[in-house]
Amino acid sequence: MTDATYTGSGSRTWRRLRRNPMVTIALGVLILIALAAIFAPWLTSFDPYETALRQRLKPPSAEHLLGTDSQGRDLLTRLLYGARTTLLIGCAGTAFGALLGGAIGLCAAFYRRLDGVFMRVIDVFLSFPSILFGLSLAAILGPGLDSLIIAVGLSVMPGIARISRGAALSVMAQDYMDSGRSIGLPDRSLLGRYLLANAYPPILTYTTLAFGDAVLLAATLGFLGLGLQPPTAELGSIAAEGRSFLFIAPHVSTAASILIFVIVLSFNLLGDALRDAGDRRAS
């Protein structure tokens, strides 16, 4: 969609970004959540898997800041560990999609004969409902971690492929590509040392932004029961567990949903700000 938006030097964009208070807030929130997820075992004294049935569905209190879930587990602890799982799935899926999409985009720009076919396929993938990837993979591999990661990867792949192709095409027009070719470098070094080394910044930026969608998809598939199975703490499945007790203890679903919402919203706000900063420079 925005093939050429992110090209060029980043420092001026960055300065413009820092002046935007929204960016500071979103970035701060994300860093906070990421740190809390990483250091979860040190932040809470509760065990995310040990059940205490006498303590089930307790509302928030001094001991359990967010209350307890249907198995009597501390909800805040579950959420911290759940954020860990969900963010990890998002990372792994996005990384997988970035590798695949990046390779496709670079190859499409480098081997011009492949371009038409590759981009046609990418267009189809781009419009395909990402939930269908999740459904098909869960049906083939069975619900679980690997099908989740592949599904998330396939859904972020087409966007990254487009950005990579755009970035790579502008690098291909540079003189040093011709120079490299004329001194007889093999395609392998041209692709890796010349093309990738110069085209990667916009690809990296876009990949970071695709992360929000990746998290939302992972959580949605988790909610549908197509992801990790209970008792694994994962934000989407925590929201689904709470659904059975929606009327007596709405806090379980609500807390998990709000956390997902905040993570995804922060990423999307960052993405919008970055796109605006890029656009203004272009015009």
Partner 1 sequence: MIARLLRRAGISLIVLAGVLLIGFLMLQVIPADPAVAIAGPQGTDDEIEAIRRHLGLDQPILLQFVWYISRVVTGDMGQSVINNASVSAELLRAAGPTIELMCAAMIWAVPTALALGILAALRRGGIVDRLVMAVSVMGVSVPVFWVGLLMIQFAARTRAFPIQGRGGPLWTAEGLSHILLPATALGLILVGPVARMTRTTLSDALHADHVRTARAKGASELRVVLNHALRTALLPIITLVGLQVGTLMGGAVVTETIFSWPGVGRLAVGSIITGDYPMAQGAIIFLASAFILVNITVDVLNELADPRIGSRS
Q: Under the rule (CB under 8 A), what is the footprint of partner 1?
A: 120, 124, 127-132, 135-136, 138-141, 143, 212, 216, 219-220, 223-226, 236, 239-240, 243, 246-247, 250, 253-254, 257-258, 260-261, 264-265, 267-269, 272
- Residues 225, 230, 231: CA angle, nearest 5 degrees: 160
Contact (Cβ atoms closer than 8 angstroms) between residue 153 and residue 96: yes
Classify burial at 219, counting beta carbons within 10 Å of its beta carbon; exposed 0-12, middle 13-18, buried 19 or more.
buried
- Cα–Cα distance between 35 and 50 in angstroms, integer? 23
Closest CB to partner 1 among residues 96, 133: 133
Structure tokens at 270: 């960052």
Shortest Cβ 148–partner 1 spacing (Å) = 13
Contact (Cβ atoms closer than 8 angstroms) between residue 46 and residue 63: no
Shortest Cβ 188–partner 1 spacing (Å) = 30
Contact (Cβ atoms closer than 8 angstroms) between residue 239 and residue 219: yes
**74 SS3 class:** strand
Phi, psi of 43 (to 5 degrees): -90, -20
Closest CB to partner 1 among residues 31, 197: 31
- Cα–Cα distance between 149 and 98 in angstroms, integer? 12
Shortest Cβ 134–partner 1 spacing (Å) = 9
| Nearest of 100, 101, 97 to residue 149 by alpha carbon | 97
Shortest Cβ 224–partner 1 spacing (Å) = 5
Q: What is the largest CA-CA distance in the chain?
A: 76
- Cα–Cα distance between 130 and 236 in angstroms, integer? 16
Closest CB to partner 1 among residues 167, 240: 240
Shortest Cβ 5–partner 1 spacing (Å) = 14
Contact (Cβ atoms closer than 8 angstroms) between residue 149 and residue 92: yes
Closest CB to partner 1 among residues 122, 191: 122
Shortest Cβ 21–partner 1 spacing (Å) = 15
Place of tokens 């993570």: 263
Closest CB to partner 1 among residues 13, 130: 130
Closest CB to partner 1 among residues 198, 220: 220
Structure tokens at 43: 């932040």
Structure tokens at 23: 């960016």
Closest CB to partner 1 among residues 62, 140: 140
Shortest Cβ 47–partner 1 spacing (Å) = 27
Closest CB to partner 1 among residues 55, 229: 229
Shortest Cβ 106–partner 1 spacing (Å) = 23
